[in-house]
């Protein structure tokens, strides 16, 4: 079932969609039944409108709901994991299937989390500071091995974190919406179990947040949570900034209630230059950068090609990987 694909205007982490389009072309050209599929890249709004009138599949950050009346799309493949910004109702009304990029970031973001843990355990920030000062002086460190780690959110990223921690013989506690499901962690508690969450926080040297922002997660790590956490614990947030109460975090750091934090997301974001969090030596701040990977377009291609194979075999854009509607 040959399918014309419109790659809409987009960049991710400074990488042009040219590479995405070329990767799709190369992969499809090698496919036994999809080799005739054409892939076109839009460079201007006018080109997007023209391509959307021809294509049955479009892929990008977003799509203008007003253009859907002019299209005959079967699938919109969103290049974000989140789809809350999309005109979902309009897409559904036009019988357009929608998929997301869930799982694309799992390898690199889980590496970021593990790197943050090892950085604190082995004292890398101290080493860097002493190197800048040309100071040869021993300093104490700890080990990640044998630690207890709570992972808040067991989606693709959280599960990848747990998988990587397996090599370090750590005890893991997962927090998820469905604790009754089989879990990759040694223990699991639900978001609706505050006593269980506090028990996990009280035992953990590392608390890694890899959850989306929802009513259940907003403000989850508040002043009461920091009061429960160990004084030698480290918070790592690669989820969403508002999951952590920023004022409570600043207070916890000021009073040495926790050891430190690695924040790839903040609230507010971007973090203002005069914010107190910049002043802590024991806080690593990265600008929502954990998602950066040179493999982004390749992994998106994997998802889209698999879904085109499914549609080719079944004759319908149903039961697709990462299907939202």
CATH number listed for the domain at residues 5-104+293-314: 3.40.50.720
Q: What is the pLDDT of residue 235?
A: 99
- Domain formed by 106-285, architecture: 3-Layer(aba) Sandwich (3.40)
- Please enumerate in sequence order all residues whose Cβ is within 8 A of that of 255, keeping only pairs 6 or more positions apart, or say none: none
Contact 51, 62 (CB under 8 A): no
State pTM to two decimals.
0.91
**Cα dist from 291 to 86, 159, 176, 302, whole Å:** 20, 16, 21, 17
Do the two domains 5-104+293-314 and 106-285 of this chain adopt the same fold?
yes
Q: What is the mean pLDDT of each run of 10 residues along the chain (325 residues)?
A: 81 91 96 96 96 96 96 97 94 98 96 98 96 97 98 97 97 97 97 98 98 96 98 98 98 98 98 98 96 95 98 97 97
CA distance 234 to 204: 9
| Sequence ranges of the domains in the chain | 5-104+293-314, 106-285
Host H or E run for residue 2: none
Active-site residue list: 240, 269, 288
């Amino acid at each position: 079932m040959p399918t014309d694909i419109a790659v809409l205007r987009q960049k991710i982490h400074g990488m042009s969609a040219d590479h995405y389009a070329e990767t799709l072309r190369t992969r499809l050209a090698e496919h036994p039944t999809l080799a005739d599929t054409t892939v076109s890249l839009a460079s201007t709004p006018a080109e997007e409108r023209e391509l959307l009138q021809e294509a049955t599949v479009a892929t990008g950050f977003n799509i203008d709901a007003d253009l859907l009346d002019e299209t005959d799309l079967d699938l919109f493949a969103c290049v974000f994991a989140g789809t809350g910004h999309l005109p979902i109702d309009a897409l559904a009304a036009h019988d357009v299937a929608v998929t997301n990029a869930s799982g694309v970031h799992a390898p690199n973001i889980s590496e970021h989390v593990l790197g943050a843990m090892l950085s604190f355990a082995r004292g890398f920030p101290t080493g860097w500071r002493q190197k800048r000062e040309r100071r040869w002086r021993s300093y104490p460190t700890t080990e990640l091995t044998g630690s207890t780690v709570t992972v808040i959110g067991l989606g693709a990223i959280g599960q990848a974190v747990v998988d990587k921690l397996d090599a370090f013989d750590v005890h893991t506690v997962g927090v998820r919406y469905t604790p009754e499901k089989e879990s990759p962690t040694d223990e699991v508690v639900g978001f609706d179990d505050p006593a269980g969450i506090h028990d996990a926080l009280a035992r953990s040297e590392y608390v890694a947040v890899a959850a989306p922002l929802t009513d259940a997660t907003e403000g989850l790590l508040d002043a009461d949570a920091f009061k429960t956490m160990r004084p030698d614990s480290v918070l790592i947030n690669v989820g969403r900034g508002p999951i952590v109460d920023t004022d409570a975090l600043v207070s916890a750091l000021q009073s040495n209630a926790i050891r430190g934090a690695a924040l790839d997301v903040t609230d507010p974001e971007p973090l203002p230059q005069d914010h107190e969090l910049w002043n802590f030596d024991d806080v690593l701040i990265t600008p929502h950068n954990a998602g950066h990977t040179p493999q982004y377009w390749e992994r998106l291609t994997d998802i889209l090609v698999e879904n085109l194979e499914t549609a080719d075999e079944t004759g319908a854009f149903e039961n697709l990987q990462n299907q939202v509607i």
